[in-house]
Amino acid sequence: MRLRKLLPLCMGVAGALAFSSALYAADDALSLASNPNLWPAPAHDLNLTRHSNLTDINKSNVGKLQLAWDQSTGALRGQEGQPLVVNVDGTPMMFIFSAWPNIVQALDLSDPDNPKEVWNYVKKTDRDESAVPRACCDTVNRGGSYGNGKVVYQTLDGWLIALDAKTGKEDWVVKNAYPDHGEDGTPAPIIAEGRVFIGWGGAEFAARGNFTAYDLDTGKLLWRKFNNGPDSDIGITADTNKDNLRHDQTQNQGLTYPGDEWKRGGATVWGWYSYDPELHYVYYGTSNPGLWSPSYRCGATPPTQEACDSGKWDNKWSISIFARKAETGEVVWVFQEVPFDQWDYDGINEVILVDLPNVDGKPHKAIVQFARSGFAYVLDRETGELLRAHKYVTVNWAEKYDMKTDRPIKVAEHSPLDVGKTTQACPSAMGGKDQQPASVDPKDPTKFYVPTNNWCMTDAPQTRTSLQQGVVYVFANVFMYPEKPGVTGRLKKFDIITGKEDWDIPDPYPNWSGTLNTDGGLVFYGSLGGDFRAVDRDSGKILWQRKLGSGVIGAPITWKVNGVQYVSVLSGIGGWIGLPVTAGLDLNDKFGAIGATAMTKAAGLAMIPQGGMLSTFRVYQ
């Protein structure tokens, strides 16, 4: 790093900047992900494919997969992320991130069958325990990222921390989220171009969402952009959406909330982020607007379905996909999936980058999202043009998308609006899937491996009684129930162009785990019942499974040291779906945890033990 600091003196500013980019590229996920033996970022690569080229574990030998070792996370609940595997000064290392209180463990993998913990870290000063009851939903953590010898992650109470990967000592610490404002630090950052990109959650607590870039070397704030409010706050310019004129370019669309409601407007960024190194764009999705009782977000008099869905009250930019310039944060394009949301169909699910050779006769650099709304969106990632919007689960809130206007054709019968009036809709507020990530093989870019929820709901908007940030800001009674008794989750192989399934695997428990696909012909995933599985990518046949100590809500990874391939996965029930178990809620309260208690009772999740464990498997001959 001394060399880097001296370079501006002898190279000039332009030369130093060029060298800086090259230096960072040599030690972050952009280059490290080209080594299939490593797992340097949440999804392995910054395209979020969760794909591995490794083939040592394959369809012919996966039946011999056995447990190699377990490692406790030190926390009982909310294991929604995945570990990292990188080389640190020539030593293979694994980094494990726990749920609250957000412990980081560093394991030396030089002997990968017998890892040795060399350091651990937990922040002990200036902690804000009010984040625990405020966090929506549950005290989860989705992991960290690695770059330039640093491990970077965020705590539930909003501290963004960079640790020296070799020693575990703090390099820098900054405050990114504030629980008393309704903000909670559940997502994993990504690192690209020497920047750390991060958001936070809190739309259910009247927070106003933003997205931030920090300098990887120093922790200095480089830019912060909001997702609602005036154009200047959001970073919208005259060039935003210029390549897609179907999107309305009226100024200050982020103010399409009545009065000052945009100040509590939600649109938080608590999911997963991707990055395109050729375009230098960073991508993410935003959450629901704050306040589930939708008539308060409509300024029409009277607030009829037709008037509220006219476009004037779209609550922009909630439930939207953003493409921002990584250097400045300026908005290149933004696409709103569910204008004037009435169901809590967060848009935070992972935005996966693939190159499609032929969509209606043309190649496209694409972005794909399997959203809570139950639609699989395919957009051109350069322009934001909507290419496909297929239903991938049962959906009745909308007929389809109007491809001329990019808007859903809503069904009024299934659109909650009036306070006190109960309305039925599919999917439930937990969505066709929630944050649990899908995966894809870039060599087969139209076929995705998707964990799904198969639930519907009734929703009765309630009277608003508070405007205070940091206090529950929902005001809706939601009851969730299985679409089909006995089947609450499915794993699907889904074609994003045709909208057809190649196969699906039904499960009595919801699938809240991410998927991992490999060149060994396998898909790995887990169920909330604790079953960790390997599936034949071609046929959908379950080839192997093992029962873990708790439900799986994390995402599997694979790595290789000393010529041996391993698969690791976190277990530990939690998240919104597991909150009634981890918090010991009354399951007879069918509206508890915004409908999660009814789901827990119907799926039998109360019988799943808590736990926090990383389990690692290998083939034994």
For residue range 34-67, what is the model confidence (pLDDT) as tens digits? 999 999 999 999 999 999 999 999 999 999 999 9
For the chain, the average pLDDT equals: 92
Q: Is the torsion defined by CA of 203, 206, 211, 214 positive or negative?
A: negative
Q: Is the pLDDT of residue 195 over 70?
A: yes
Query: Looking up tokens 């921002």, which residue turns up?
Result: 324
What would the pLDDT profile of 422-438 be if each residue is shown by its tens digit? Answer: 999 999 999 999 999 99
Measured distance CA(415)–CA(423) in Å, rounded = 7
Q: Which of 288, 315, 453, 517 is catalytic?
A: 288
What is the pLDDT at residue 245?
66
Query: Which residue, 163, 162, 164, 169, is CA-closest to 215?
Result: 162
Q: Is the pLDDT of residue 493 over 70?
A: yes
Confidence of residue 2 (pLDDT cuts 50, 70, 90): very low
Confidence of residue 77 (pLDDT cuts 50, 70, 90): confident
The residue type of 14 is: A
Query: Looking up tokens 């994993």, which residue turns up?
Result: 188
Q: Is the pLDDT of residue 16 over 50?
A: no
Residue 95, phi-psi category: left (phi > 0), alpha (psi -120 to 50), beta (remainder): beta
The two three-digit tokens of residue 508, written as one number: 């009595």
Distances (CA, A) of 233 to 211, 327, 330, 340: 11, 16, 10, 21
Q: Is the pLDDT of residue 18 over 50?
A: no
Q: Is the pLDDT of residue 413 over 60?
A: yes
> 3-class SS at 30?
helix
Q: Is the pLDDT of residue 8 over 50?
A: no
Q: Which of 28, 171, 344, 406 is catalytic?
A: 344
What is the pLDDT at residue 275?
98
The values of phi and psi at residue 5, to 5°, are -70, -30
Q: Is 344 a catalytic residue?
A: yes
Confidence of residue 249 (pLDDT cuts 50, 70, 90): low
Q: Is 35 a catalytic residue?
A: no
Of 10-24, 459-473, 481-495, the poorest mean pLDDT is in 10-24
Q: For residue 125, with 0-12 CB atoms within 10 Å meaning exposed, 13-18 middle and 19 or more buried, which class applies? A: exposed
Which domains, and CATH codes, for the chain? 1-32 (no CATH), 33-619 (2.140.10.10)
Q: Is the pLDDT of residue 22 over 90?
A: no
What would the pLDDT profile of 279-294 be if each residue is shown by its tens digit? Answer: 999 999 999 998 999 9
DSSP letters spanning 344-398: -----S--EEEEEEEETTEEEEEEEEE-TTSEEEEEETTT--EEEEEE-S---SE
The two three-digit tokens of residue 613, written as one number: 């464990």
Q: What angle do CA 583, 348, 296 make, to 5 degrees?
A: 80
Q: Is 327 a catalytic residue?
A: no
Q: Is the torsion defined by CA of 286, 282, 27, 442 positive or negative?
A: positive
What is the pLDDT at residue 434?
93
Measured distance CA(33)–CA(44) in Å, rounded = 6
Chain centroid offset of residue 164 CA:
25
Check residues 565 and 22 and name the one with the higher pLDDT. Answer: 565
Cis peptide before 303 (omega within 30 of 0): no
Q: Which of 204, 217, 434, 441 is catalytic?
A: 204
What would the pLDDT profile of 543-555 be if each residue is shown by its tens digit? Answer: 999 999 999 999 9
Percent of the chain with pLDDT over 70: 95
What mean pLDDT is predicted for residues 443-471?
95
Distances (CA, A) of 220 to 162, 175, 186: 12, 11, 21
Judge contact between 575 and 512, C-beta under 8 A.
Answer: yes
> 3-class SS at 572?
coil
Sheet holding 522-526, edge to edge: 51-52, 516-518, 522-526, 531-536, 542-547
Judge contact between 419 and 463, C-beta under 8 A.
Answer: yes
Measured distance CA(590)–CA(458) in Å, rounded = 11
What would the pLDDT profile of 356-374 be if each residue is shown by its tens digit? Answer: 999 999 999 999 999 999 9
Q: Is the pLDDT of residue 324 over 90?
A: yes
